[in-house]
Structure 1
């Protein structure tokens, strides 16, 4: 069995005051951890929906510059969220501890 270490704080999928990152220290089983997991799931789902919308809009020759700028702005926001999720998850996977092996 592999269990994640809890020494490093978890980067949360939302920002705090002035856009600064928020972190959580804990075992990963508490209320805030579950809330963060749910929040990440919503962000990833929204990113998939936005990509589908952009795929539909790009070949549309009647799309206005304003529509394209709007979808680009939303894509940038979504990419920022997805990047934060990837960094957070990657950091948590970086240092697994083997529980079935001594040492």
Structure 2
């Protein structure tokens, strides 16, 4: 099995780490909503929240980019719903 195999040990480990990062980000987002509703939260706590949210967003963007790179390339003429849509004409334009 190669590392490029979507079912390799490395791929499974990466999927597990990504799942944990996304779960932590979702939990942080819920916590942020609670904190923003509490008028007694201090500036230091809000700064820490913003830093944590930035870290979680950075993780989510890294995950999205990584997963996007693993998707097969699609023609500019293909719609996401139907890859058979939009044949390319000889001049390179979409039909």
TM-score (norm 1): 0.66
Aligned to 1:86: 64
Question: Aligned-pair distance for 1:27?
Answer: 1.6
- How many aligned residue pairs are there? 73
The alpha-carbon distance between structure 1 residues 54 and 74, as it changes in their structure 2 partners (threshold 3 A), is same
Q: Distance in 2 between matches of 1:69 and 1:59?
A: 15
Residue of structure 1 aligned with 2:25, choices 17, 23, 47: 47
Question: Aligned-pair distance for 1:32?
Answer: 0.7
Over aligned residues, Cα RMSD in angstroms? 1.7
* Larger Rg belongs to: 2
Q: Deviations over 1:53-100 (max 9, x none)?
A: 00000121100000000111100100000000011111112437xxxx
Q: Distance in 2 between matches of 1:70 and 1:82?
A: 18
Aligned to 2:39: 61
Q: Distance in 2 between matches of 1:43 and 1:57?
A: 21
Q: Distance in 2 between matches of 1:48 and 1:42?
A: 10
Aligned to 2:10: 32
2:70 alignment partner, SS class: helix
Q: Which has the higher strand share?
A: 1
- Greater relative contact order (Cα 8 A, min sep 6): structure 1 or 2? 1
